[in-house]
């Protein structure tokens, strides 16, 4: 279980010292720092951090805006961390998902996310219904786990390879890979 610090400033001229100082008391084991806009989640160090964290780890940020300036992106980040069993602490918002109050706040964020997902699914269902009426909807084929899944998953779990390497070895796309990881975690708990 690692304490992971994520520090981001928007420009090269800005300094990250204030954020680092705020997070230092939390005994950070691994730092991810970058000087790049937070307009989306397509950031090198952010991606490395998301690949690095494992179940039981906790990510520390000075405030949510360091992770994302977009509520939509932030909700997706929160969902991805929750699915991986990774905690998150935001100092400014005073949210720690490792505590009951933090989980409650995260639940409120989850309600907003669920509302957005419901709207998305509603629009998607309408589009599928129209496509079926036109006779052009074929549906989606189920993706099976690759033959080398257990070997690659074990190496990834032991941090011998990154998520990107595991995806390359299995030939899986990011969402499919992490869906299989979630299923693996559920099956091992039962």
Active site residues: 10
Instruction: State the residue for tokens 């610090």.
Output: 5
- Residue 80 falls in which region: left (phi positive, over 0), alpha (psi -120 to 50) or beta: alpha
- Please tell me the distance from the alpha carbon of residue 108 to that of residue 115, in angstroms, as a whole number: 11
Pair of tokens at residue 153: 């998953």
């Amino acid at each position: 279980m690692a304490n992971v610090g994520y520090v981001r400033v928007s420009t090269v001229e800005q300094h990250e010292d204030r954020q680092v100082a705020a997070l230092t008391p939390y005994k950070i084991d691994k730092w991810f720092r970058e000087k790049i806009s937070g307009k989306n989640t397509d950031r090198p160090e952010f991606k490395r951090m998301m690949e690095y964290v494992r179940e039981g780890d906790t990510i520390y940020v000075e405030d949510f805006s360091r992770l994302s300036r977009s509520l939509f992106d932030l909700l997706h980040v929160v969902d991805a961390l929750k699915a991986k069993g990774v905690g998150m602490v935001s100092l400014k918002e005073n949210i720690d998902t490792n505590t009951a109050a933090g989980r409650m706040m995260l639940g409120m964020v989850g309600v907003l996310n669920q509302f957005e997902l419901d709207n998305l699914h509603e629009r998607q269902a309408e589009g599928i219904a129209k496509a079926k009426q036109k006779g052009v909807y074929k549906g989606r084929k189920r993706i099976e786990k690759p033959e080398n899944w257990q070997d690659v998953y074990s190496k990834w779990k032991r941090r011998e390879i990154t998520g990107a390497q595991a995806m390359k070895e299995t030939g899986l796309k990011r969402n499919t890979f992490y869906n299989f990881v979630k299923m693996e975690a559920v099956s091992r708990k039962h």
